[in-house]
Structure 1
Amino acid sequence: MFKMIALYKQPKDKEQFDAHYYGTHVPLTEKIPGLRKIEVTKITGTPMGTESEYYLLCEMYYDSQEAFQEAMKTKEAKASAKDVMSFAGDLVTFMVGEEVEYE
């Protein structure tokens, strides 16, 4: 599986961020053709018990890098990208990668 990861820093207004993220952004993102699943993790702290500089981690799964690249050309992906930049452009970092199987 190939995935895009979005890592969000702590927003100033968590309630406003959550309302937009879950009420608007996730529904837009779920419409992207080829997207297999979304996993969202709310960061609750560090292993040392301190607050993390990060708030949220979102993993979006695709069958392959090629499927991801095709998905990113769609109007649905462009709508999702435009939306995330409108409310979290200064908070989000994107990465892509492949899951690795190991023994």
Structure 2
Amino acid sequence: MYRLVATYNHPENPAKFLDHYENVHAKLALNQKGIRNFEWGMCSTADGAAPPHFLVAVCDWDSKEAMLADMSSPEGQEGAADLENFAGAGVSFDFYEINKGI
């Protein structure tokens, strides 16, 4: 399995960000044909302090090649283009092959 983790910075308007993310961007992510898992959540901390990020999303594919194919597809390009509609505060991406623990 191959994973993409997107970490979103705190937006100026959290309610507007969440509305767009849940009702537009998340649906675009799910339109990708090779995606095997998609989950997201708002960040928090154990002590109630402000977390370093606002939201984290995780997407899984069978392989790096499957992820690259999805990202270059029309559906993947539509999702990438949508970032400018809501992620103005910034987003970081990490990619990795999933390795099982003990």
Q: Same fold (TM over 0.5)?
A: yes
8 Å Cα contact 1:7-1:92 kept in structure 2: yes
State the match for 1:23 in structure 2: 23
CA distance in 1, matches of 2:88, 2:12: 13
Q: Report the counterpart of residue 59 of structure 1 in structure 2.
A: 58
4+ runs deviating over 2 angstroms: none
SS of the residue corresponding to residue 44 of structure 1 reads: coil
CA deviations on 1:67-89 (whole Å, 9 max, x unpaired) are 11111110000000000123204
1:94 matched to 2:93? The reply is yes
TM-score normalised over the length of structure 2: 0.91
TM-score, with length taken from structure 1? 0.91
Instruction: Return the letter of the residue paired with 1:40.
Output: W
Residue type of the alignment partner of 1:35: I
Gaps of 5+ in 2: none
Q: Which runs of 5+ in 1 are unaligned?
A: none
Mapping of residues 12-51 of structure 1, within 5 Å: 12-45=12-45, 47-51=46-50
What is the CA distance between 1:41 and its match in structure 2?
2.0
Deviation at 1:37? 1.4
Greater mean deviation of Cα atoms: 80-89 or 51-60? 80-89
* Aligned-residue offset at 1:48: 4.4
